[in-house]
């Protein structure tokens, strides 16, 4: 059903529908115009015939001769072709129908308005009423030609126009389907590029030279350029991280050697401990940056397999429960539903997501705060939420905290390197999961929705 709705909303199909509609409207207008022009011509011809007949009667000067003539014409004329009705000032009416409605001047009279004594008459008449002799004469000429012409026009539409419309609609639907398929390939490739699969390309048929093929080539050229640029940037970042990581680790070793082999005063030992802690923090930052580069580059995409998120959440909870208790926090795990919670992912990275969110709550909330992890199945897939009752994150800052190395002003006095939520966002993007930050009245709620996965 969704596929049908997407097809209906597609631009090629809408354009086809618009063109077919324009063709239908233009054809209807053309046939209608032709019909009304031909009908007006018929009516004009009928009026000329009526005028000629009336002129013949008006040329008779003697009233008695006129009445005799009209009687003969009324008796010999078929009402389905011609109706005569004469109402003399004195004497009996003359008519070949029982009653014809009174009119003034020229008028079109329908069959239902005429009392025809059961005789066969036409569906419509063009009638004219005028004074002739010493009486009122009505002459009505059949308009069957107009109705026959209308039937012919309808037949032309049914026999000629409708098959043409069907052919145009089918042809347009085929063209729209092909265009939709090409657009779908472009959309799929763009989605893959957005998710980090920089090697994705739009399949192109060399024999096709339409505008969509040109767009596909442009997308592929852009993707190649972006892939080369990102690969270069990542290589430079990785080289810098590797090159700096080694000397920093050496500095850490030297600090340890100084601490072991040198007798220091209390003040010097304190400075050395601070140097050791800062060095360790720098090493962790470089490790996190390297991991983030690997995740964003899609290097771990082939490690994604069916994984039970329930088991992951339980393992992380049991590992951090004691740490939370030592820090004076309450850590709670709530799993809504039975069985496995299967997602397509990497167990180590999923564990890191849960651990980072819990540790983020432990680090940035006051002693006595409560951190709650909830795992449940939803219509969209599997939902994981981690909430706390700390200070929370202002709405204006929520997009910023997902950037690497970004730290809010109030967080600069706490441990951390500003990469925890960045890693969470990158891992969610790798797994195709939706990440959202929201208020918890007091505190923060981090919601992650993993897409549905076939457990097989």
156 vs 40: CA distance, rounded Å:
20
Nearest to 308 by CA among 181, 453, 449: 453
Q: How many CB atoms lie within 10 A of CB 254?
A: 12
Q: Which residue has the higher pLDDT, 140 or 159?
A: 140
Q: Over the stretch 84-126, which tens digit does the pLDDT of each residue have?
A: 999 998 888 998 888 888 888 888 888 888 887 777 888 888 8
Mean pLDDT of 133-151: 85
Mean pLDDT of 57-79: 88
Query: To 10 degrees, the CA torsion angle through 420, 422, 427, 430?
Result: -170
Look up the CATH number of domain 211-296.
1.10.287.130
> Domain residue spans in the chain?
211-296, 301-451
Helical segments of 195-308, H only: 211-261, 266-296
Mean model confidence pLDDT for the chain: 80
User: pLDDT above 70 covers what percent of the chain?
Assistant: 85
pLDDT at 412: 43
pLDDT at residue 44 is higher than 70: yes
Which pTM was predicted?
0.48
pLDDT band (50, 70, 90) for residue 288: low
User: pLDDT above 90 covers what percent of the chain?
Assistant: 10
State in words which class domain 301-451 has: alpha beta
- Note the residue count of the chain: 456
pLDDT band (50, 70, 90) for residue 339: confident
Mean pLDDT of 256-282: 75
pLDDT at residue 61 is higher than 90: no
Query: To 10 degrees, the CA torsion angle through 431, 434, 438, 440?
Result: -60
Give one word for 110, left, alpha or beta, with left for phi > 0 and alpha for psi -120 to 50: beta
pLDDT band (50, 70, 90) for residue 195: low
Mean pLDDT of 298-306: 75
- Spatial neighbors of 424 by CB under 8 A, at least 6 apart, are 353, 356, 357, 402, 435, 446
Which two three-digit tokens encode residue 351?
């564990």
pLDDT at 12: 66
pLDDT band (50, 70, 90) for residue 173: confident
Angle between helices 266-296 and 420-430 in degrees, nearest 10: 20
pLDDT at 31: 79
pLDDT band (50, 70, 90) for residue 157: confident
Sign of the alpha-carbon torsion through 264, 266, 270, 276 = positive
pLDDT band (50, 70, 90) for residue 409: very low
Residue for token pair 């496995």: 340
Which two three-digit tokens encode residue 376?
């449940």
pLDDT at 200: 81
């Amino acid at each position: 059903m969704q596929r049908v709705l997407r097809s209906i909303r597609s631009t090629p199909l809408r354009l086809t529908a618009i063109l077919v509609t324009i063709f239908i409207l233009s054809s209807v207008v053309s046939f209608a115009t032709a019909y009304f022009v031909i009908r007006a011509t018929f009516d004009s011809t009928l009026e000329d015939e009526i005028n000629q007949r009336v002129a013949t009667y008006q040329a008779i000067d003697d009233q008695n001769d006129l009445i005799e003539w009209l009687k003969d014409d009324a008796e010999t004329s078929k009402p389905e072709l011609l109706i005569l009705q004469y109402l003399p000032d004195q004497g009996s009416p003359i008519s070949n129908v029982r009653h014809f409605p009174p009119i003034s001047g020229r008028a079109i009279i329908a069959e239902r308005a005429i009392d025809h004594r059961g005789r066969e008459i036409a569906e419509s008449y063009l009638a004219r009423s005028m004074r002739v002799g010493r009486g009122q004469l009505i002459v009505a000429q059949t308009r069957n030609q107009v109705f026959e012409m209308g039937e012919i026009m309808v037949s032309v539409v049914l026999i000629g126009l409708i098959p043409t419309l069907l052919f145009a609609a089918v042809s347009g639907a085929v063209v729209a389907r092909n265009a939709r398929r090409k657009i779908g390939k472009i959309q799929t490739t763009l989605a893959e590029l957005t998710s980090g699969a920089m090697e994705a390309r739009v399949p192109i048929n060399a024999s096709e030279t339409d505008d969509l093929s040109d767009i596909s080539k442009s997308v592929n050229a852009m993707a190649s350029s972006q892939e080369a640029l990102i690969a270069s940037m990542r290589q430079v970042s990785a080289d810098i991280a590797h090159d700096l990581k080694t000397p920093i680790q050496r500095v850490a070793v030297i600090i340890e050697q100084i601490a072991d082999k040198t007798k220091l005063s209390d003040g010097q030992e304190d400075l050395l401990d601070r140097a050791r802690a800062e060095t360790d923090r720098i090493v962790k930052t470089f490790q996190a940056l390297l991991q983030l580069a690997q995740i964003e580059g899609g290097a771990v995409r082939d490690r994604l397999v069916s994984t039970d998120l329930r088991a992951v959440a339980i393992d992380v909870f049991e590992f951090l429960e004691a740490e939370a208790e030592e820090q004076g926090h309450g850590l709670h795990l709530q799993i809504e539903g039975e069985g496995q919670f299967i997602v397509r992912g990497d167990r180590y990275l999923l564990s890191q997501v849960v651990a980072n969110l819990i540790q983020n709550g432990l680090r940035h909330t006051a002693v006595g705060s409560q951190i709650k992890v909830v795992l449940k199945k939803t219509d969209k897939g599997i939902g994981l939420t981690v909430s706390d009752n700390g200070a929370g994150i202002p709405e204006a800052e929520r997009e910023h905290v997902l950037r690497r190395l970004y730290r809010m002003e109030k967080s600069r006095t706490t441990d951390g390197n500003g990469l925890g939520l960045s890693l969470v966002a990158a891992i969610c993007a790798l797994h195709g999961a939706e990440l959202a930050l929201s208020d918890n009245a007091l505190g923060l709620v981090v919601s992650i929705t993993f897409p549905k996965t076939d457990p097989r």
